[in-house]
Amino acid sequence: MQADLICVGNELLTGLIENSNAGFLSRRLWAAGIEVRETAVVADDGEAIRSALNRALEHSEIIIFTGGLGPTEDDLTREAIASALGLSLNLDQKWLEKIEHFFNMRGIKMPENNRKQALIMEGASLLENRAGTAPGSILKWEGRLLVLLPGPPNELKPMFDDLVLPALKDFNRGSLSRLKTLKCCGIGESSLENKIKSLENWDLPPISYVARGYEVHLQLKGRGSAAEAAEAIEKGESKLRGLLGDCIYGSDDDTLAGKVAELLGEKGLTLALAESCSGGLLSSMITDIPGSSQFYRGGMVAYSGEAKTGSLGLARSLLEKEGQVSEPVAMAMAEAARANFKSDLAVGVTGIAGPDGGTAQKPVGLVYIALAGRCDCYCKKFNLGGGRLAVKERTVQMALDMIRREILNNYGQ
């Protein structure tokens, strides 16, 4: 069974917004055993939407639209589909009341243009939007399943997971395709490929390698009947896990920060941070995780020398002797964070994110990451490339991997 995605929005075609919904939906559909045949990005234009729909109807059983469900005049998705299929649009009184309530809660009278967000195609079921005023909808039509989702990712994602996936599983009872992504950290793409190719009796399913900063993701594809696809992947995964050990931190939707949070929770450990060049990004990645207040004690962004001596309490003589970007300062930052916030583990980060501030001896991309734990404190030195944001991102990946390995190695059973 195949799906087509049709993403509607001028903002996507002008490049104002990256189309993150397509990636999200593709991953989810594959995970549900449904192959994505094609993704189209089209303008907020009735004719463009209808033409993409007609094309998709020729090839795919499942057609998913994103965007164009807003209150403004250029939001045309539901109108275009209804006209293409010859369906009427009916007012959903209950949803209209929800929208009115949504505005009342904020002390505002509902603008008249929001009224059209309560229109729904005849025969379709409304999908509730818990984060906004645009409901989605789902329609069975001549053996196809059509799904309309709002564009904002924070509205689309929970709606898809909670309401669309169950309907898709019910609709798709045929053959399956399977993908499994194993996520690695702390090993380069080439080393990984060489290691995998060195396996004797090579009979793994096809693998794609994708490097994401300091992570490498391995994607295994299984085909055939549901049982065949699952068996090929299971076999491949077990071989790779045996070979790569804790270089694999997780799979599919796992994230490195999520994995660290899970480990901290399991062991009942707390964490504190003192960041310089990563500038709060490490803290923000940690606090993206629901429930992180259970283990995250707090952090300091010591972006200036004064912050390092003042709030963090480092000795001025240490900074003068070693320089702000140095191993002893990273270690002192980690230890100060651990003491100030009374945590089990603490990370100290100092480095030069660039574009300015580098010297011949201490170039842009030089980063020290220190980890203070129960027994000791140690520091790693990195030379990172790729510009300011890449340096921040890779610093965070390495720091998270250091915490992960520290817990696995020193806080085991």
CA–CA distance from 36 to each of 26, 53, 333, 390 (Å)? 6, 15, 48, 30
Is 17 a residue that touches a copy of itself (CB under 8 A)? yes
Q: Is the dihedral of CA 70, 82, 99, 158 positive or negative?
A: negative
Residue 150 CB burial class (10 angstroms; 0-12, 13-18, ≥19)? buried
Of the pair 41, 318, the CB lying nearest a copy of itself is at 41
Of the pair 124, 178, the CB lying nearest a copy of itself is at 178
Of the candidates 393, 148, 167, the residue with the CA atom closest to the CA atom of residue 281: 393
Q: Binding string to a copy of itself for residues 310 to 329, with x set by CB under 8 A, is what?
A: xx------------------
Site residues (CB under 8 A) for a copy of itself, limited to 334-373: 340-342, 353-357
Residue pair 37/98 in contact (Cβ under 8 Å)? The answer is: no
Residue pair 128/163 in contact (Cβ under 8 Å)? The answer is: yes
Q: Near a copy of itself by CB under 8 A, which window of 72-80, 86-94, 120-128, 232-240? A: 72-80
Element containing residue 5 per DSSP (H, E)? strand 2-8
Nearest approach, Cβ of residue 296 and a copy of itself (Å): 5
Residue 123 DSSP one-character state: T
Nearest approach, Cβ of residue 412 and a copy of itself (Å): 27
Of the pair 124, 179, the CB lying nearest a copy of itself is at 179
Is 80 a residue that touches a copy of itself (CB under 8 A)? no
Q: Which residues contact 126 (CB under 8 A, 6 or more apart)?
A: 92, 95, 120, 135, 136, 137
Is 46 a residue that touches a copy of itself (CB under 8 A)? no
Question: Rounded to whole angstroms, how far apart are CA atoms 273 and 336?
Answer: 9
Is 55 a residue that touches a copy of itself (CB under 8 A)? yes
Question: Rounded to whole angstroms, how far apart are CA atoms 333 and 314?
Answer: 7
Is 74 a residue that touches a copy of itself (CB under 8 A)? yes
Q: Binding string to a copy of itself for residues 132 to 161, with x set by CB under 8 A, is what?
A: x-------------------x-xx--x---
Of the pair 116, 139, the CB lying nearest a copy of itself is at 116
Helices (H), 312-387: 316-322, 327-341
Q: Determine which residue in the list 94, 101, 169, 212 makes contact with a copy of itself, applying CB under 8 A.
A: 212
Of the pair 113, 409, the CB lying nearest a copy of itself is at 113
Nearest approach, Cβ of residue 237 and a copy of itself (Å): 16
Is 284 a residue that touches a copy of itself (CB under 8 A)? yes
Q: What's at 156, amino acid-wise? A: L
Element containing residue 120 per DSSP (H, E)? strand 119-121
Nearest approach, Cβ of residue 245 and a copy of itself (Å): 20
Q: Binding string to a copy of itself for residues 159 to 198, with x set by CB under 8 A, is what?
A: --------------------x-x-------xxx-xx----
Q: Binding string to a copy of itself for residues 215 to 254, with x set by CB under 8 A, is what?
A: --x-x-----------------------------------
Of the candidates 283, 285, 382, 274, the residue with the CA atom closest to the CA atom of residue 332: 274
Q: Determine which residue in the list 104, 304, 359, 409 makes contact with a copy of itself, applying CB under 8 A.
A: 304
Nearest approach, Cβ of residue 89 and a copy of itself (Å): 20
Q: Determine which residue in the list 97, 162, 203, 306 makes contact with a copy of itself, applying CB under 8 A.
A: 306
Of the candidates 376, 413, 406, 372, the residue with the CA atom closest to the CA atom of residue 246: 406
Question: Rounded to whole angstroms, how far apart are CA atoms 136 and 8?
Answer: 14
